[in-house]
Amino acid sequence: MATADTLNVLDVTQIEPRLKHPTIFQKFDSLQGGEGFIIHNDHDPKPLYYQLLGERGPIFTWTYLEEGPEVWEVHISKLASEESPTIGELVAKDYRRAQVFKRYGIDFCCGGKKTLDKVCADKGISKAALEQELNALSDTSANRGLNYDSWELDFLADFIENTHHSFVRHALPAIYEYTTKIARVHGGRHPELLQVATIFAGIAAELEEHMAKEEKCFSPMCAASAR
């Protein structure tokens, strides 16, 4: 007898290449705990496994049903809530989630052993709204399929400044805040955390100096070469 999952097959071969992974992620995000679906493909979808793990965390199972050479099928299911990762584990997978939790007043450091369900229940937070913000981070995680080699130098320099430099300048204060907080709270028992905070402060200063030098020297040279 067919089960719900065997009837719930996503034929990836029929999806436009640039939409394959976004479609699978959308399908996964719509699942409830314990639900799953099957992806049907013409090659090993293992890269998807690593992307899903990196962007959603260890909240799913991945089981091969067929392993080629012409047909590949994988059953993906979302873990039930009691098996869900903790707040701390979610941040460990993607530190940007820390800023989302901070906006909601969620302590992912000392209170990092709680699950998303538990935190939302304790604080009266909409889990759907919180998950939507967390999942939205994956939309800005990478610029896939961009042919940098074909760009003019001045455009490339602008892209570096407005994308990468902007990201680093936004990320550094947040990371610095948490490295110093953790060192202050736990440094007495774990002196290595004091070293981590000190080293990161030095790296942050070097990055700031490096970016300023690029913007002062490299970018104007690129702009001049395009004239």
Task: Write the CATH number for 21.
Answer: 3.30.110.40
pLDDT, residue 33, reads 79
Residues 157 and 211 in one domain: yes
pLDDT, residue 5, reads 45
Burial label, 147 (beta-carbon count in 10 A; 0-12, 13-18, 19+):
exposed
- Classify 64 as helix, strand or coil: strand
3-state DSSP helix/strand/coil percent for the chain, to nearest 5?
60, 10, 25
Residues 54 and 31 in one domain: yes
What is the rounded CA–CA span in Å between residue 112 and residue 89? 8
pLDDT, residue 141, reads 54
Contact, 57 vs 93, CB < 8 A?
yes
Of the candidates 166, 154, 157, the residue with the CA atom closest to the CA atom of residue 208: 166
pTM, two decimals, is 0.48
Torsions phi, psi for 135 (to 5 deg): -70, -30
Alpha helices in 30-165 (DSSP H): 46-56, 87-93, 97-103, 116-123, 127-136, 153-159
Residues 11 and 56 in one domain: yes
pLDDT, residue 90, reads 85
Of the candidates 102, 98, 88, the residue with the CA atom closest to the CA atom of residue 171: 98
pLDDT, residue 154, reads 86
Q: Which letter does DSSP use for residue 36 in this model? A: E
Residues 152 and 91 in one domain: no
pLDDT, residue 138, reads 65
Residues 135 and 194 in one domain: no
pLDDT, residue 75, reads 94
Q: How many folded domains does the chain comprise?
A: 3
pLDDT, residue 4, reads 46
Of the candidates 49, 44, 46, the residue with the CA atom closest to the CA atom of residue 66: 44
pLDDT, residue 113, reads 81
Per-run averaged pLDDT (10 residues), the chain, 227 residues = 59 90 90 88 90 84 89 90 74 82 86 83 88 76 60 86 89 90 91 95 94 91 79
Residues 39 and 93 in one domain: no
Residues 40 and 68 in one domain: yes
User: Residue 111 sits in which domain range?
Assistant: 85-140
pLDDT, residue 83, reads 58
Q: What phi-psi label fits residue 145: left (phi over 0), alpha (psi between -120 and 50 degrees) or beta?
A: left
